[in-house]
Structure 1
């Protein structure tokens, strides 16, 4: 049975949406400039937080596409343009993240002493391992533990790894977009089979490297501490965040009159994934926390000790409430996943909640207790990145000749999806 939908309509990025995204970018630029004036170290931490979040959401889009192709899923065929637009934005997000990390490592931190003199003290980011003096024997700052990890934690190898992860994800994501566009033009199964093979390659690379990406970018901020669960904990946050953004954008686009073929059944599936992986995130959060709390080994407990200081403890517990209890109560019932306003609210809660999750990971390790709270730097930087993502995403979406992969072999199954 065919449908009467027109698949040749293009998205037009104009009007208030474009204006608001540009205004948000300008607000972000002003806030970042002000942040460097107020507290440079804290602003670098905010840039790392938002840059990492921005990149993770885009990676989640590539992962979504690859997962659907590799599983030969039919229900999602008609919504693939949204995560494919994430793939087109990923190279920009990756470049911004690498730039932020590089500036944070190579910008020295200047401290004013009681005598009024300025002295250089380490770097703005990754200060536990990046300064050369830490691994130089005879230096006052020498640390034997970090020196023992220097074969892995050294600046050249660090950037080689980060470049490999992000370039590989970006290239494979863009290849999925390319073959999907070719499929629209040529039809047949050739490009679908190519997409299947690329997806399998991406999933193999992603599966091995996404924990390392989290270890390098975030866990190495606390270079004395380590957790084998941290990589998968970050993967769960990445995936839930990406699903929430995909769902929120689909709801927004439907409201604007696009993606009219998307039904509550499609949104129900996305709600199920958000709910299920929020529970998975909670399992990893609880398992990591409980094992370290129970064992009480000093080198492990130090991570949570920082986050139990009075300045961060309220946010630490709020994190589990927002990212577990809220979606658990809101999305458990079938009807709630099919009620668009409720699902939209859950998306916004999870997007904000996982920003808080990354905040708890990054701030205590970078600026310490003085980084507590949310001010102009946090709100302004987040708005700037949100505006940039919005502008790049809708620009990328507007470049597709069709809002649906019209020659996808499972398109009719997706159009008639019902659960």
Structure 2
């Protein structure tokens, strides 16, 4: 096999890719302005949270991918590591954007109905537990359930936790990138061994905190409800959507003439991971739904009851069709995972499908059925425009981060030759 590639070329982020990313950002800005100026502030904040959370999860997945490869001492993935490493470089900015959205949503208020239907001053996000007076007995907003959870669900502790989660992920991601770049300069095993140890630390922290990250950011939007499976369900969505973005990025970079050492065998491996963890996501989706339906405990069933409103029910079922049946039918066979066109379509389907999955998690508990009278108009053009804008923002940040690597491959990684000769 010919492996005589030049590893010294840098990625240049310019031309159509950069132009289109800026156009997409402009579409998102127009969508945000339309949302706020037409009195849809609550929906617009929900869209900001949805997309800020999504791109943060994709970036976290990049660090998780790198950490898993180092701890497993996997050789096949060495050739593709620069893409998830670029995601790691984007996380500090994505995390700051998410934190800014959450802080604004907590402290900016508007007039709206509380749980009892009374018009009061509501925060744009987390209106169940961040509502003024919700823990004061005798106040019209008093809620005994939220009061019992107020030791955990209060603004100071809530924001502190989010800073710790995102800060620790970003710091370790930065260290992994730094060690990889140092390895390119110095060679040897010193930086590889440091990457291994840092990856072990990341997986330990990540394993304990990723469910809490999902509980805080998404589940607490409906703070009367709880599910111990929700954190792992979100992890599965994070992993599948992140793998899809990694794979799509590699396909597009290869088409643009970069990373020609990435073969169909590498893409096959990524396709296997996408397929396998789509099934894992489905298992968690079904288990959470089935156990809640079977037990029929009111404080648990309320979550799915909202999603069975006529406006949301078709989207609820479309979610499982897109994120399970689509990868099942397109990626099950060996040949399909080795056809770049098929794999590219599967990536796009899963990226959009898990956006819909997050939309299903967020919208019923924020805007409720007020967003539209029919299922086909509950999904607003504002939702789509903001998604396009954040996609453009991610492309801009990712392309810029990738262009700052001196080489698009860890050229002195000890397992590089194994990756270049990878064949399955």
Shorter chain as denominator, the TM-score bin is: over 0.9
> Following TM superposition, where does structure 1 have runs of at least 4 consecutive aligned residues deviating by more than 6 angstroms?
none
> Which runs of structure 2 are paired with 1:372-391 in the superposition (5 Å)?
372=372, 373-391=378-396
Deviations, residues 60-112 of structure 1 (Å, cap 9, x unaligned): 00100011011100000011000000000000100000010111111112249
Q: Once the 2 structures are TM-superposed, how far is the Cα of residue 266 of structure 1 from its aligned partner?
A: 0.3
The equivalent of 2:223 in structure 1 is: 223
Query: Is 1:108–1:120's contact at 8 Å kept on the other side of the alignment?
Result: no
Q: Aligned residue for 1:201?
A: 201
* Equivalence map 1:18-417=2 (5 Å): 18-38=18-38, 39-111=40-112, 120-372=120-372, 373-417=378-422
Q: Distance in 2 between matches of 1:75 and 1:17?
A: 28
- For structure 1, list consecutive stretches of 5 or more residues without a partner in the other structure: 113-117
Partner residue in 1 for 2:375: none
TM-score (norm 2): 0.96
Distance in 1 (CA, whole Å) between partners of 2:314 and 2:366 is: 18
- Listed one character per residue, the Cα deviations across residues 195-218 of structure 1 (whole Å, up to 9, x for unaligned) are 001100000000000000000000
TM-score by length of 1: 0.97
**What secondary structure does 1:132 align onto?**
coil
- Structure 1 distance, partners of 2:266, 2:360, is 33
- 1:47 is displaced (CA, Å) by 0.4
Distance 1:57 1:336 in 2: 24
Structure 2's unaligned 5+ residue stretches are 373-377
Instruction: Quickly say closer, same or farther: Cα 1:127–1:111, change in 2 above 3 A.
Output: closer
**Alpha-carbon spacing, 1:101–1:193, altered in 2? closer, same or farther (3 Å):** same
Separation in structure 2 between the aligned mates of residue 221 and residue 370 of structure 1, nearest angstrom: 16
Residues 1-53 of structure 1: per-residue CA shift (max 9 Å, x gap): 88211000100111111111111111211211111112101000000000000
- CA shift digits 1:254-294 (9 cap, x unpaired): 00000100011000000000000000000000000000001
RMSD between superposed Cα atoms in Å: 1.2
SS at 1:83 equivalent: helix
User: What does residue 115 of structure 1 align with?
Assistant: none
Q: Please say if residues 132 and 141 of structure 2, whose CA atoms lie closer than 8 Å, have aligned partners that are also in contact.
A: no
Is residue 131–residue 141 contact of structure 2 (8 Å, CA) maintained in 1? no
Aligned length: 414
Partners in 1 of 2:330 and 2:119 — Cα distance? Answer: 52
Kept in 2, the 8 Å contact 1:364–1:371? The answer is no
* C-alpha distance in 2 between matches for 1:361 and 1:374: 13
